[in-house]
A and B are shown apart, each in its own frame.
Chain A
Amino acid sequence: EVQLLESGGGLVQRGGSLRLSCAASGFTFSSNAMSWVRQAPGKGLEWVSSIRGSGINTYYADSVKGRFTISRDNSKNTLYLQMNSLRAEDTAVYYCARVKSMAPTHDYWGQGTLVTASS
């Protein structure tokens, strides 16, 4: 059974940093690209960043480019999101999601972790 478990969320001051983790199990982690998708309170879903299975290629939404860094440790089956220079508009539930093999869609999602950037 595929499982994704996020951690690392919490309350952080605006301008501060936070690192999210996503522990994966139930599949060959290095075989799948992975993404972070966020949802601000009461709002819709927003794709944030993705990383290929090898970890070499990374992609970012314009809203986080230059501030957030996605990475992965395939030996630990873990996905990360380093978030710097946090803004109020970064406040959201952050989901990690698996990119389905051979189809650019997100087939499994974690339960999410809440990040609150507050003054």
Chain B
Amino acid sequence: QSALTQPASVSGSPGQSITISCTGTSSDVSDYNYVSWYQQQPGKAPKLMIYDVTSRPSGVSNRFSGSKSGNTASLTISGLQAEDEADYYCSSYSNTNTWVFGGGTKLTVL
């Protein structure tokens, strides 16, 4: 149950695109198409943004997209907006009927 690896921080200017990576192992990310991404604003509960690697829940902007290659998943936010500034966490279902989260990435909109 080792945590997934994410960069501690990323930044971008309004209108730009940014990508957050999430690296796992053969027990989770690479073996399952069950990677999710969550957005967490300060003092709030996490909000599901992407699931099953590429799917968006109803109501989530199409500026958010997900992908995966091997043991690394990625979240891309295009047309960056001030309201996107938040912490982002990846998560993967694993082969032991458990979930593992990444350490989180703080997104700063410059």
A residues near B, CB below 8 A? 35, 37, 44-47, 50, 57, 59, 61-63, 95, 100, 103-112
Q: A45 touching B98 by the CB < 8 A rule?
A: no
> CA of A106 to CA of B51 in the docked complex: distance in angstroms?
9
B residues near A, CB below 8 A? 1, 3, 34, 36, 38, 40, 45-48, 51-52, 55, 57, 89, 91, 93, 96-104
Counted as pairs of residues, one from A and one from B, with CB atoms less than 8 Å apart, the total is 66
Q: B101 touching A105 by the CB < 8 A rule?
A: no
Q: B98 touching A47 by the CB < 8 A rule?
A: yes
Q: Which residue of A lies closest to B105 (CB)?
A: A44
> CA of A4 to CA of B53 in the docked complex: distance in angstroms?
25
> CA of A79 to CA of B93 in the docked complex: distance in angstroms?
21
Q: Assuming the A-B contacts A44-B103, A47-B100, are A105 and B45 also in contact, with contact meaning beta carbons closer than 8 angstroms in the complex?
A: no
> CA of A97 to CA of B28 in the docked complex: distance in angstroms?
20
